[in-house]
Amino acid sequence: MEAKAGKSSIGEYFSSIAVAVGLALLIRTAVVQAFYIPSGSMEDTLLVGDYLLANKFVYGAPLAVPLTSVSLFRFPALRDPSPGDIVIFRSPIDPDRDLIKRCVAVGGQTVQIINKTLYINGEPSEDPPLSKYTDRRVQNAAVSPRDNFGPFTVPDGQFFMMGDNRDNSADSRYWLSVPRELIKGKAMSIYWSWAPDTAGPYYSGLGSLPRVLGSWIVRLPGRVRYERLGDVIR
């Protein structure tokens, strides 16, 4: 009897682990997922070093084969992305990369950019509160679509995405609209943020590791952007 009880306990233990892992994978796949901001294309709304949570449930998350980008099916969506949403999606030109941009137009709407001003269906669109322009030069459409683009009518079931850092973002101006099947989730909130470590010293072999770790620990408290922790992303 004792041997059977022992085997039963071990079986329950591993069953509990399997259930916990399964629930964690389900939550990550269909409900919420963490992302890191590695570039400045969404400044000053999102900064390099921000860690955020994305709601995957609202747009209907794709269920992918583990460790791949191959989607088996999509969970039912509550709604599609709307203009103003900050959206995480697969890159249309590099399927192994996730991107985060702001949706500015949806299927059926016409996008045009004239001398840096965004127009939707012929009406000027108000810039997001923390968006910015860093280059006073205006580029001709023959040189780049950055400042002069379109008109372009977004196909049904697709979305036009732009970075809030309008002069430093590779977005739909360059590769056009994003199909619905590439959409992954809506940015929700920042759970951690720290400024990039630009002061060094940097890793250059095992001999440098003590200095690197010591410097990292000493400077860590000053790098944390405490005021951004818990911010709702808009």
Listing DSSP states for 73-84 in one string gives EEPPPS----TT
Dihedral (C-alpha) 6, 12, 16, 18: value to the nearest 10 degrees?
A: 100
Active site includes 41?
Answer: yes
Distance between CA 3 and CA 5 in Å, rounded? 5
- Which entry of 9, 15, 41, 82 is annotated as an active-site residue? 41
Distance between CA 184 and CA 74 in Å, rounded? 10
Tokens of 206: 């095992």
Output phi, psi for 191, to 5 deg: -100, -15
- Which entry of 56, 101, 184, 186 is annotated as an active-site residue? 101
Give catalytic residue positions. 41, 101
